[in-house]
Structure 1
């Protein structure tokens, strides 16, 4: 599933023809990187790929004033069909990606076990910072969001809260993990 494809095709379908800079401004204005896996910097590459697939087409080139020439893009009929499919797939597909942290946790370096408590606490602090930023962002833009956008942002907030809770439980068990790793090492060494 490609969120950036949904964003570009959806923006062109909803708002009409735009050039890349307008799409970039829209992505920034809507803070899509806060609640979707879209980077504003990735828009131009995605535009080129969508054009190569004939999902969007160049309608004209503009050059207002001293600005550089800008290609203005519109969605094609095929692009509209693909957008509907992407939207439906985005609603139906469940994305739950493994966190590399889990694998690293099960493959600890015996010589660095003492670092684990600080690493877990640092992760908790990072998630707490992300949560605080997310809640501040939600509060600052809430009045501009649609009901669906508010709910999508709340989903990210709830996921962050769950990560914090899980990491707090992990922090309580770090001593057990270290003791178990040392015990396993002692058995292997015997």
Structure 2
């Protein structure tokens, strides 16, 4: 979110929060980032408190409420440069709690595991189908970079489905191993 707000102010000049919000909607950021529309205003306040953006002026158009117009500061430009560099070079891949749970299965519910995992695969496939369909609908509005970012998410979803399908194939072996390890009998 910081990269988006600082980047917008750097590239397009001073803007008020509503303009930034409209731009995030126009660029469909919620589809391929963790940016939420509701979080933008809080992020603007935090960036201002940190001295990375500052109020340039207040404006009022017609009967709309007064709006603060923000601009990026020198410290904000330096922070943006650093964020861009680290964002390109750092690999971010968060652990999925699912993996830890898989290593700590409930022995009383081992027989439920195939149904639960199949439901998870079905949900992932539905997410993929929905994402692919939406991507096709908005494709003509996306820049090359946005298209590539969306493709990255699509490929990650496909990989997640593939891994889960491999898990489904190995569930009988996993359940048997868990029962043996815990001294349980079929």
Match of 2:181 in 1: 184
Where does structure 1 differ by over 4 angstroms across 4 or more consecutive aligned residues?
none
Output the aligned Cα RMSD. Answer: 1.5
Partner residue in 1 for 2:110: 113
What's 2:153 paired with? Answer: 156
What's the counterpart of residue 50 of structure 2?
53
Once residues 76 and 8 of structure 2 are traced to their aligned partners in structure 1, the CA distance between those partners, rounded to angstroms, is: 12
User: How many Å apart are 1:80 and its aligned residue?
Assistant: 1.2
Tell me the SS of whatever aligns to 1:40.
Answer: coil
Q: Give a deviation string over 1:159-185, Cα, whole Å, max 9, x none.
A: 000000000000111111111111122
Name the structure 1 match of 2:17. Answer: 20
Q: Which runs of 5+ in 2 are unaligned?
A: none
Unpaired runs of 5+ residues, structure 1, are none
Q: Which of residues 31, 51, 56 is equivalent to 2:28?
A: 31
Alignment of 1:10-159 (within 5 A): 10-159=7-156
Count the aligned residue pairs: 185
Partner of 1:174: 171
TM (normalized to structure 1)?
A: 0.92
Query: Which is further off, 23-32 or 98-107?
Result: 23-32
TM-score by length of 2: 0.94
Post-superposition offset of 1:63: 2.2
Task: Identify which range, 79-88 or 158-167, moves more after superposition.
Answer: 79-88
Q: Which moved more, 1:131-140 or 1:8-17?
A: 131-140
Shift of 1:66: 2.3
